[in-house]
Amino acid sequence: MSALIFTIVLGIILLYLGFVKNKAILAPVAIAGLMITLFLLFKDWGLGSKYFHDMIVFDNFSIAFNISMVIITILIFFFGIDYYEALEFHVAEHYALMIFALTGAFLMTSFSNLIMLFLGIEILSIPLYVLAGGKKYSYRSNEASFKYFMLGSFATTIFLFGVALVYGASATFYLPEIKIFISQFNGHLPPMMLVGLLFILIGVAFKVAVAPFHFWSPDVYEGAPTLVTAFMSTVVKTAGFAAFFRLLNMGLLPLPVPLEKALWVMTGLTLLIGNLAALKQTNFKRLLAYSSIAHSGFIMLAMLSQHNTSASVILYYTFVYSLATVPIFIIFILMKRAADGSEELSIFRGLYKQKPWIAVFLTILLMSMAGIPPTSGFMAKYQVFVLSISQGYLGISIVAILMAVIGIYYYFFVMREVFTEREQSYPIQVSKINAALIVVCGVAVVMLGIFVWNLPI
């Protein structure tokens, strides 16, 4: 709890630091603050404290996910030092909004009550609507913001509708009580309850861009400022899946058969659409958006293979995925800057000649995304497949493995560009702190693949 409160205060402090006309202090303050958050989170490990009539439970599950999200946010902020250098106004707001979104994410990992989940999703989403439109004079950024807001509010209403229906059927918002309620029916739920739960699941599925509710994500990812895109595809995604898992684990397991089937359909669609649509992309941000959808499919697979290691597998997957995604976005931003704002894949051409070290690390990161050993991306996918096959979902596992193979194609497409020579490659500039960040993430991605961990959460 202290971590949550402290983070909110940190956001407010950052907001007011905007009055001080010194941008340089923002990132250090934000990072130092998040370090303290990290410490506070570690302190709560194993306590399982409950607050507000048990509406929030800070158990190990939520702390582990929170720690993972804070680490990724710190990485993004480190990069922000360089990124916001060029921005004149409202830098403080950017930091503050991300911190506020992070507090929403904290709620999403620790709720035990549907109201808290709703609050969490909204606290996470509203800053993001603003952040997506962070480039005030950019037409694309505004479009992204508007689309995200419209589609997001639609999803919110569906979610809220679902909550209302569930309350109408079961007269409770508490997940453990909902679980008891469901178990009374022995698998044959009343339609009102069933539809209500479906709407809740759809609301969450929208947040993590699961097909067919993924339509917003390529457009928003492309239009939003790249740093925000990085934040969305890592921290927001992690929070979404933590919430999704918690919802299932606390309230809905064992899943009513119709809902389980619906979720399997979504998983299959997500895997297919994410990977297939990415094949022909030429815009790098859209490519990453589809790749992010594809990864959602794999995480769904782990989530639906209900086993007591699922949580740990999802944590590992989201963490190593984020760890690879952030530096990829960083390299992309640097390339984009060098290429005068072009976002095409071809801007990577000749990178190896220009900056071999960056090219090598980019290759490692892409390999991790594609799931090639010995990177952690491989271990993540491997664990997912082991889990799903051991739970007997052979058919969908085969589909997923095939899709993982297809995925290799578009990641290698980027690699090919990196190692193809061009006469005048773009003069990419890498500051020391960014280079360090890329190297640290690259090494971590490999090391985590060699030393795989499993948390008992």
Partner 1 sequence: MIPHMNLALLVPALPLLGFLITGLGYKRFRNNQAGIIASSAVGLSFLISLSSLFVLRNSGQDSATLTLFNWISVGKMNIPFAFLIDHLSLTMMLIITGVGTLIHIYSIGYMHADNRVNSFFAQMNLFTFSMLLLVMGANYLILFIGWEGVGLCSYLLIGFWFENPAFNYAARKAFVMNRIGDLGFILGIILLFFTFNSVSFSEVFAQASSFQVGAPVITLITMLLLVGAVGKSAQIPLFTWLPDAMAGPTPVSALIHAATMVTAGIYMIARSSVLYILAPTTLTLITIIGLATALLGAIIGLKQNDIKKVLAYSTVSQLGYMFIALGVGAFSTAVFHVTTHAFFKALLFLGAGSIIHAMGGEQDIRKMGGLRTKMPVTYWTFLAATLAISGIPPFSGFFSKDLILSKAFEHNFILYILALGGALLTSFYMFRLLYLVFFGEQRLAGSHPHESPKVMTIPLIILAILSVFGGFLNVPTLFGGDSNFGVFLQKAMTSFSGEELSHTTEISLILISSLLIGLVILFAYRTFVTKVLVPKADGEPMSFFGKFITNKFYIDEFYATIFEKPFRFLSGFLYQKIETTILNPAIEGIGVATLKLGELVRKIQRGNMSFYFFAMVAGILLFIIFILTI
Nearer to partner 1, 84 or 216 (CB): 216
Bridge partners, residue 50, by sequence: 57
Q: DSSP assignment, residue 211? A: T
Nearest distance from residue 407's CB to partner 1, in Å? 11
User: Is 77 among the residues that bind partner 1 (CB under 8 A)?
Assistant: no
User: Is 270 among the residues that bind partner 1 (CB under 8 A)?
Assistant: no
Q: Which of 259, 294, 347, 441: binder of partner 1 (CB under 8 A)? A: 259
User: Is 265 among the residues that bind partner 1 (CB under 8 A)?
Assistant: yes
Q: What are the residues whose beta carbons fall under 8 Å from the beta carbon of 360, sequence distance 6 or more? A: 352
User: Is 280 among the residues that bind partner 1 (CB under 8 A)?
Assistant: yes
Kindly identify the residues of this chain, within the stretch 103-142, that bind partner 1 according to CB under 8 A.
Answer: none
Helix, strand, coil fractions of the chain, as percent rounded to 5: 75, 0, 20
DSSP, collapsed to helix, strand or coil, labels residue 113 as strand
Kindly identify the residues of this chain, within the stretch 369-408, that bind partner 1 according to CB under 8 A.
Answer: 406
User: Is 164 among the residues that bind partner 1 (CB under 8 A)?
Assistant: no
Bridge partners, residue 58, by sequence: 49
Which range of residues in 60-68, 124-132, 163-171, 260-268 is near partner 1 by CB under 8 A? 260-268
User: Is 176 among the residues that bind partner 1 (CB under 8 A)?
Assistant: no
Kindly identify the residues of this chain, within the stretch 144-163, that bind partner 1 according to CB under 8 A.
Answer: 147, 150-151, 154-155, 158
User: Is 253 among the residues that bind partner 1 (CB under 8 A)?
Assistant: no
Nearer to partner 1, 98 or 198 (CB): 198
Which range of residues in 81-89, 170-178, 214-222, 382-390 is near partner 1 by CB under 8 A? 214-222
Nearer to partner 1, 262 or 351 (CB): 262
User: Is 300 among the residues that bind partner 1 (CB under 8 A)?
Assistant: no
Nearer to partner 1, 43 or 261 (CB): 261
User: Is 18 among the residues that bind partner 1 (CB under 8 A)?
Assistant: no
How many chain residues bind partner 1 (CB under 8 A)? 34
Of 13, 36, 19, residue with least CA distance to 95: 13
DSSP states of 130-152 as a string?
Answer: HHHT-STT-HHHHHHHHHHHHHH
User: Is 31 among the residues that bind partner 1 (CB under 8 A)?
Assistant: no
Distance CA 61, CA 40 (A): 15
Distance CA 375, CA 372 (A): 6
Nearest distance from residue 202's CB to partner 1, in Å? 6
Q: Which of 262, 303, 315, 428: binder of partner 1 (CB under 8 A)? A: 262
User: Is 187 among the residues that bind partner 1 (CB under 8 A)?
Assistant: no
Q: Which of 40, 102, 198, 335: binder of partner 1 (CB under 8 A)? A: 198
Helices (H) and strands (E) in the chain, counts: 19, 2
Nearest distance from residue 159's CB to partner 1, in Å? 11
Q: Which of 1, 119, 276, 401: binder of partner 1 (CB under 8 A)? A: 276
User: Is 278 among the residues that bind partner 1 (CB under 8 A)?
Assistant: yes
Q: What are the residues whose beta carbons fall under 8 Å from the beta carbon of 180, sequence distance 6 or more? A: none
CB 217 within 8 A of CB 206: no
User: Is 6 among the residues that bind partner 1 (CB under 8 A)?
Assistant: no
∠ CA 364-369-370, nearest 5°, is: 95
Backbone φ, ψ for residue 375 (5° rounding): -75, 165
Distance CA 72, CA 328 (A): 13
Q: What are the residues whose beta carbons fall under 8 Å from the beta carbon of 3, sequence distance 6 or more? A: 37, 40, 41, 44, 66, 106
Burial degree of 456 (CB within 10 A; 0-12, 13-18, 19+): exposed
What residues make contact with partner 1 under the rule CB under 8 A? 147, 150-151, 154-155, 158, 191, 194-195, 198-199, 202, 206, 212-213, 215-216, 218-219, 257-259, 261-262, 265, 272-273, 276-281, 406
